[in-house]
Each structure stands twice: as structure tokens, then as C-alpha cells.
């Protein structure tokens, strides 16, 4: 029986100031999804590993089954599909865990059927995975996991997604403090009204960040990694956020912020050595405060989801 395996990378959504409109993929971690045809005429999740028993095996309640069913509807197929999901990252961590699972399932099943859809056509389906997981169909995790690199969602209606240039050799520190912050909850606490003064500041930073990536201007990227709207509120859910930010900037991080909806945080760095040093500093600091965490050093992922041999 033919099996197709896909690796879909984790992501850093928002990139500090671009709430719901910017995200980049990182090389590690990422989920693996294996799909094959079955003879039951329905989608069956046959195995989930790495979730500590937290994810449902019911295909309609799990993002992988849900998006595969949407894919089958879209191509008008009654074929049954078996899915194995290998979670390689913590749930509710801010690393785009549900997005990586949805994207992995869609890219794998698309390959299994001979690629009837383009990656751009898979995007709205993967966004429905986000709706199931968090109550909102945002694209800033799924789009970079599908397409790789840094992605801008210029508009949701109509959906208009732009892959931005991202040529610099940038390194990413990711630290996951062991506190639970479900995305749905982290979205509810955000204020729905923003003052014009703050909106103008935020627009300036978003434009600066995009300009910085387009012109390879690391200092402009650093100056623009500021969020005056979301971070002041969400950072309250993350232990020692201000201290970690200061520590990272004191050790030459280009910028620092919340990864997606948290609780993971990330630092963008110019060199692997700087990134390793910051990862160690943050890990030691949180440990000294009795906060358990994982830290890793990775890079911006340029390819997005890939089919594995």
C-alpha cells in the first residue's frame, strides 16, 4: 500500500507587530503526517504519537482528519484515507502546532492523490484547521508552514497572501516556558478597540519590518520589532517576559517577542553563536526562577512543508 509522509515546519506567527498578518516558518521543530488509502470510504486516524494522549482520534474533531475531509470534498472524492500523526512539538505552545499538523496532512494527502491542488489552493483548507483548533481561521501560521519563509497576509477577504523576500541568514531562538496558553484564550483577552495613535505606531513598525526584510536591513528589522497593541496584554500571561526580552536585547538579539499567541517567545539573531548564547541565557534564567522550559536554536525555514522519502 502506497504511503506518503510529509514534514510540516513550526512557525512564528505575528513576528511581533504583525498580528494575524505576518509569520515565518522555522526549520525545527515540525510535525510528520503519513497518509495512505483505505477501503472504508472514510477518513480514519489510525495513530497519534507525541501528544501525550491529548488529541482526539475522531477524524472530525482532529485538525488532520477535518482538513483531509475538506480536501476530499473539494476534489469530489469518496476515497477513504488513513492518517498517522507524529506530533513533534508541544500543543498550545505558540509554535503553530495545529497549523503544522493541518499543513502536513494536506500536503501529504494532496501528494497521495497526484497533487490535484496547488499550495495556494490548500491554504484556505488549512485555515479551517485553525478555525477548529482555536475558533478563528487565521493564516499566519498555516501560510508560512505551507509556503516557507516569511509570509504576509495582505487581506483575508479576499484572501491575498504574499511571500516576502527573506534572503538573510537569520537565526531564531525559541523558548517554550511550561505554562499553558491556548490560542483561543489568548485571543479573547485582546482589546477590540485601538487608539489611532497606537494604530499609527503599529503601521509604522509593520511597514518598517517588511521594508527591512525586502532590503536586507537588519537594523531596520530590529527597530521595527515593536508591538504596542497586543504584546502589552499577552505578555502578562508569560512569566518573566520583560526580563527575557531585556536579557536577549542585552545580548545583541535583533529583536524579541511572543511567538504566535505564546507562551513561547523568540529572539531573532544574526549569528548562530549569538543565538546559542541567548538560548542558554534564557534557559538558565528561567531555571533560576523555577520555570521549566525548552529552548532551541533554529533558522528561518525557506521551503515550507516537504514530502519525505
- Grid cell digits, residue 297: 536554536
> Rounded to the nearest whole angstrom, what is the least distance from the CB of residue 160 to ligand HSE in the complex?
17
For position 185 contacting ligand HSE by CB under 6 A, the verdict is no
Q: Which of 138, 171, 176, 226 binds ligand HSE (CB under 6 A)?
A: 138
For position 14 contacting ligand HSE by CB under 6 A, the verdict is yes
Cβ proximity to ligand HSE: between 111 and 294 the closer is 294
Is 39 assigned a catalytic role?
no
For position 187 contacting ligand HSE by CB under 6 A, the verdict is yes
**Which residue in the block uniquely carries the three cell numbers 484547521?**
129
Q: Out of 43, 183, 231, 298, pick the active-site residue.
A: 183
The Cα–Cα gap between 307 and 104 comes to 9
For position 176 contacting ligand HSE by CB under 6 A, the verdict is no
- Grid cell digits, residue 125: 483548507
Closest residue to bound ligand HSE by CB: 260
Is 43 assigned a catalytic role?
no
Using DSSP's 3-state secondary structure scheme, residue 89 falls into coil
For position 140 contacting ligand HSE by CB under 6 A, the verdict is yes
Q: Which stretch binds ligand HSE (CB under 6 A): 11-19, 66-74, 235-243, 246-254?
A: 11-19
Residues that bind ligand HSE (rule: CB under 6 A) add up to a total of: 13
The Cα–Cα gap between 44 and 81 comes to 6
Share of the chain residues as helix, strand and coil, in percent rounded to the nearest 5: 40, 25, 35
For position 20 contacting ligand HSE by CB under 6 A, the verdict is yes
**Which residue in the block uniquely carries the three cell numbers 525559541?**
174
The CA–CA distances, whole Å, from 300 to 97, 173, 287 equal: 16, 10, 26
The residues annotated with a catalytic role in the active site are: 130, 183
Amino acid at each position: 500500500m502506497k504511503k506518503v509522509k510529509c514534514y510540516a515546519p513550526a512557525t512564528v506567527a505575528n513576528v511581533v507587530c504583525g498580528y494575524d498578518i505576518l509569520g515565518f516558518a522555522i526549520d525545527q521543530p515540525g510535525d510528520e503526517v503519513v497518509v495512505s488509502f483505505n477501503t472504508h470510504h472514510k477518513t480514519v486516524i489510525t495513530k497519534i504519537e507525541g501528544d501525550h494522549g491529548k488529541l482526539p482520534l475522531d477524524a472530525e474533531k482532529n485538525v488532520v482528519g477535518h482538513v483531509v475531509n475538506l480536501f476530499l470534498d473539494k476534489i469530489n472524492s469518496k476515497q477513504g484515507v488513513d492518517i498517522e500523526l507524529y506530533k513533534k512539538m508541544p500543543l498550545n505552545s505558540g509554535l503553530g502546532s495545529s497549523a503544522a499538523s493541518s499543513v502536513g496532512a494536506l500536503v501529504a494527502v494532496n501528494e497521495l492523490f497526484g497533487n490535484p491542488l496547488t499550495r495556494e489552493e490548500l491554504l484556505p483548507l488549512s485555515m479551517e484547521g485553525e478555525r477548529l483548533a482555536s475558533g478563528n481561521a487565521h493564516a499566519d501560521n498555516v501560510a508560512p508552514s505551507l509556503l516557507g519563509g516569511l509570509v504576509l497576509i495582505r487581506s483575508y477577504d479576499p484572501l491575498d497572501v504574499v511571500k516576502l523576500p527573506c534572503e538573510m541568514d537569520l537565526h531564531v531562538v525559541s523558548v517554550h516556558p511550561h505554562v499553558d496558553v491556548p490560542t483561543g484564550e489568548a485571543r479573547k483577552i485582546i482589546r477590540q478597540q485601538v487608539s489611532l495613535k497606537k494604530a499609527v505606531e503599529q503601521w509604522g513598525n509593520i511597514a518598517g519590518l517588511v521594508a527591512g526584510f525586502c532590503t536586507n536591513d537588519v537594523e531596520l528589522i530590529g527597530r521595527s520589532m515593536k508591538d504596542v497593541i497586543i504584546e502589552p496584554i499577552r505578555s502578562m500571561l508569560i512569566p518573566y517576559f520583560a526580563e527575557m526580552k531585556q536579557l536577549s536585547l542585552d545580548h545583541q538579539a535583533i529583536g524579541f517577542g511572543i511567538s504566535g499567541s505564546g507562551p513561547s517567545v523568540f529572539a531573532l539573531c544574526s549569528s548562530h553563536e549569538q543565538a546559542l548564547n541567548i538560548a542558554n541565557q534564557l534557559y538558565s534564567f528561567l531555571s533560576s526562577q523555577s520555570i521549566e522550559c525548552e529552548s532551541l536554536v533554529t533558522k528561518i525555514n525557506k521551503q515550507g512543508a516537504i514530502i519525505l522519502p
